[in-house]
Structure 1
Amino acid sequence: MTQLPVTLSSAAACALLNIWLGSRISRLRGQFKVSVGDGGNDLLLRRMRAQANFIENAPFVLILLAGIELWGGNRLALQAIAAIFIMARIAHPIGMDGPQFRRWRMVGMMGSALVTVALAGWAIALIAGY
C-alpha cells in the first residue's frame, strides 16, 4: 500500500486551519447577531473572505502534494513546502483583520502563490521527464 504521510499531515493541518477560520467567523456572528451573510459588518466580511480564499487555494496544494508524493518526490522537501503553505495560510487571515496587519496578508498571499507555483512547476517537470 502506498502511504502519503506528507499529504495526510498537510490535509490534517488544513482541516484544523479551516476549523479555526470558521470559528473566527462564528464568534463574530454571535457577537453581532448575524446568522446569514455579513450583515454589513466589514470585519465579518473580511474573515469570511479569508476562509473562502483558503478554501480556494488549499485543494490545489493538497492535490499537487499528493501527486508529487505518489510520484516519489522528496518527502522532506514536500514537508518543508507544505509547512510554508500552512504558515502562509495562517498569516493571510491575520492580515485580513485590518489595515494595521496588511503586511501579514501580503506575506500570506505571496507564500501561498510561491508554494503553488513551485509545486505546479515540480509536477510539470515530473511529467516532462516521464
Structure 2
Amino acid sequence: MNIVSTFPVTLLFIALLALVQIPMTVAVGLRRLKTETHFLDGGDELLLKRMRAHGNFTETVPIVLLAMAAAEYCGAPTSLLWAGGCSLLLGRLVHYGTLVNSGFGNGRAVGMLLTLAPMLIFPGFVLWALVGVSA
C-alpha cells in the first residue's frame, strides 16, 4: 500500500489548494513591492485585504486537509471526500475574491460556510469511526 492509493482524493485537493495559494502569496508580495511596505500593511487597504485573505486561507486549509486525510484513512465514502474537498476549494476561492475585492459581503460569509462544512464533517466522520471501532 502506498500513499497515493491510500489518500487519492485528499492528495488531489492538497495539490490543487497548494497551487491556489501561489497567486495569493504573489499578490501580497507584489503589493508590498509597489507600496514599498516591508512590514505589516503600512496603512495600505489593498495590502491589508490581500494579507488577511491569504492569512485566512493559510489558517483554515491545512487543518481541513489533515481532517480530510484522516477521514479518508478511516474509510470515508469517496462522495463525501469529493463533496468536502470541492466545498473547501470553492469556499476559499469565494472568500478570497470577496475579501480582496470588497472587504465584506455575502460572498465572504458563503465562503466561510463552505469552508466550515468540511471542517466539521471530516473530523465528525473520524470521531464516528473511532467510536464505532471501540464499541
Per the normalisation by structure 1, the TM-score is 0.90
Question: Does residue 21 of the first structure (1) align with residue 21 of the second (2)?
Answer: no
Aligned to 1:76: 79
Q: Deviations over 1:77-121 (max 9, x none)?
A: 201210110000001111112447622111111111122111121
Contact 1:88/1:111 (<8 A) preserved: yes
Number of aligned residue pairs: give it: 130
- The residue aligned with 1:93 is 96
2:115 alignment partner, one of 103, 112, 122 = 112
Is 1:7 the counterpart of 2:10? The answer is yes
Q: Distance in 1 between matches of 2:26 and 2:110?
A: 22
1:35 is aligned, of 15, 26, 38, to 38
The range that moved more, 120-129 or 95-104, is 95-104
What stretches of structure 1 of length at least 5 have no aligned partner?
A: none
Cα deviation, 1:12-58, whole Å, max 9, x if unaligned, reads 01111111211221232232222222111112112111111111111
Taking only aligned residues, the RMSD between alpha carbons, in angstroms, comes to 1.6
Q: Which consecutive aligned stretches of 4+ in structure 1 deviate over 4 angstroms post-superposition? A: none
Aligned partner letter, 1:96: L
- The one-letter code matched in structure 2 to 1:84 is S
- How many percent identity over aligned positions? 31
Query: Scaled by the length of structure 2, what TM-score is found?
Result: 0.87
